[in-house]
Amino acid sequence: MSQGELRLEGLEKYYGTMHALDGFSLRIQAGELVVLLGPSGCGKTTALRSVAGLERLDGGRVFVDDQDITLQPTAKRNMGIVFQQYSLFPHLTAAQNIEFGLKIRHVGAAKRRERSRELLDLVGLGDLGDRFAHQLSGGQQQRVALARALAIEPAVLLLDEPLSALDAKVRVSLREEIRRVQKEVGIATIFVTHDQEEALAIADRIGVMNRGILEQLGTPAEIYAAPATEFVAEFVGKVNRIHGTVTRESTVLTPGFGAFSIGGPLTVGGEVAVLVRPEQLGIRVTGDGECRLVEMSFLGSSFAAHVQGIDGTKVVVAVSPEESIALSVGDRVEIFQRGPTLLVLPEDRVGGPVPEFAESD
């Protein structure tokens, strides 16, 4: 496999007046899987298509190793591409679909068949090479599409929401399979998705995009636990927003929800918004608590306790099954801090009204 380092420098792309990519830069090492994550219209698919040569850039450059491929056509870029739709040739078997790119490159029949067998084994379909697309499940078809992309020994692998057409259980199984194959082959990979769980589960690094800009690039743990911006904090995972006043340089007092210790100094007396995840909060029943438990939602392995403060603000607290036994809707409760806050934002940086408990698609 001809692995290479992928380097994107200042990519710019406009669709009319819309700035789809705004100075987008990224470097991916050989063997690394980077997930581009963001809402619809954030530019993640445009970035992938620009790397593939399917979109003409308005600025910036694309390199594989030290070779500038910005102006090269798609066919000469040596990219393996897997899209949402499997797009298998219905008149060809799985093995013949995998061989197709090699046939176009005039690789001999014996070598094509050998390569096809290797890749069918790699993706766990070694005994299904003679089946046509309509004889394969959705997950099996996508594995064939992955094997076909790898057959030409690409320098870079591009995956554009490859699991979105599959049901939830198959998605989990196949994402693990894609991760295994990608690591075994050792190829630089861009994986585009809007699914946070998918991104956190398989990425070496995640690039969170918003309006054509890379808001943050980091490991899954960094993106989740140490978001660099308000957008990243609210897009990845669940987050509460609680308003309060700085009473000491490192303490924020919130109405009804108690005091929060923060990581850095702020101006005493300043109005701020504290962003904190449900699992970073705790809850206990108290006779004189200023908050009330208004709802309990069962999530399988845990509960979500919905708590309303005296000013009407609602927060959600993650509660274990053991802790839930002591809680009843209508209880007067108090909230306490279990872990570090994500961000503390001065009120003049906080935008328009945002739900106190935000969860992205």
Q: Looking at residue 352, what is its pLDDT?
A: 40
- Three-class DSSP category at 289: coil
Q: Looking at residue 3, what is its pLDDT?
A: 61
Q: Looking at residue 357, what is its pLDDT?
A: 37
Least confident span in 26-30, 266-270, 323-327: 266-270
The pTM assigned to this predicted structure is 0.88
Q: Looking at residue 210, what is its pLDDT?
A: 96
pLDDT in tens, 50-65: 999 999 999 999 999 9
Give Cα 221 to chain centroid, integer Å: 12
Encoding tokens for residue 226? 């140490």
Which residues belong to CATH 3.40.50.300 in the chain?
A: 6-230
pLDDT in tens, 251-275: 999 988 989 998 778 889 999 999 9
Q: Is pLDDT larger for residue 154 or for residue 266?
A: 154
Q: Is the pLDDT of residue 361 over 80?
A: no
Topology of domain 6-230, per CATH?
A: Rossmann fold (3.40.50)
Q: Is pLDDT larger for residue 267 or for residue 86?
A: 267
Give Cα 55 to chain centroid, integer Å: 23
Would you place residue 295 in the very low, low, confident or very high pLDDT band (cuts 50, 70, 90)? Answer: very high
Mean of pLDDT values over 186-202: 94
Are 356 and 314 in contact, with CB atoms under 8 Å apart? yes
Residue 279: how many other CB atoms lie within 10 Å: 16
Phi-psi region of 51 (alpha: psi -120 to 50; beta: other; left: phi over 0): alpha
Would you place residue 349 in the very low, low, confident or very high pLDDT band (cuts 50, 70, 90)? Answer: low
Q: Percentage of the chain with pLDDT > 70? A: 95
Beta strands 188-193 and 33-37, pairing class: parallel
CATH classification code of 238-355: 2.40.50.140
The C-alpha atoms of residue 306 and residue 179 are separated, in whole angstroms, by 36
Encoding tokens for residue 8? 């994107």
Query: Mean pLDDT in the chain?
Result: 91
Which amino acid appears at position 86 of this protein? Y
pLDDT in tens, 304-313: 999 999 888 9
Helices (H), 186-237: 196-202, 220-225, 230-235
- Strand (E) positions, 84-187? 156-160
Would you place residue 302 in the very low, low, confident or very high pLDDT band (cuts 50, 70, 90)? Answer: very high
Q: Looking at residue 61, what is its pLDDT?
A: 97
Q: Is pLDDT larger for residue 361 or for residue 59?
A: 59
Contacts of 8 (CB under 8 A, 6+ apart): 24, 25, 26, 27, 47, 51, 60, 61, 62, 63
Which residues belong to CATH 2.40.50.140 in the chain?
A: 238-355
Q: Is the pLDDT of residue 353 over 60?
A: no
Q: Looking at residue 310, what is its pLDDT?
A: 87
Q: Looking at residue 63, what is its pLDDT?
A: 96
Q: Looking at residue 201, what is its pLDDT?
A: 94
Least confident span in 20-34, 278-292, 340-354: 340-354
Q: Looking at residue 274, what is its pLDDT?
A: 92
Cross-strand bridge partners of residue 252:
246, 260
Are 53 and 77 in contact, with CB atoms under 8 Å apart? yes
Are 33 and 179 in contact, with CB atoms under 8 Å apart? yes
Ranked by mean pLDDT, which of 8-17, 157-166, 337-346 comes out on top?
A: 8-17
The C-alpha atoms of residue 75 and residue 73 are separated, in whole angstroms, by 6
Cross-strand bridge partners of residue 304:
297, 318
DSSP state of 264: S
Q: Looking at residue 354, what is its pLDDT?
A: 37
Would you place residue 359 in the very low, low, confident or very high pLDDT band (cuts 50, 70, 90)? Answer: very low
Q: Looking at residue 255, what is its pLDDT?
A: 83
pLDDT in tens, 207-239: 999 999 999 999 999 999 999 999 999 999 999
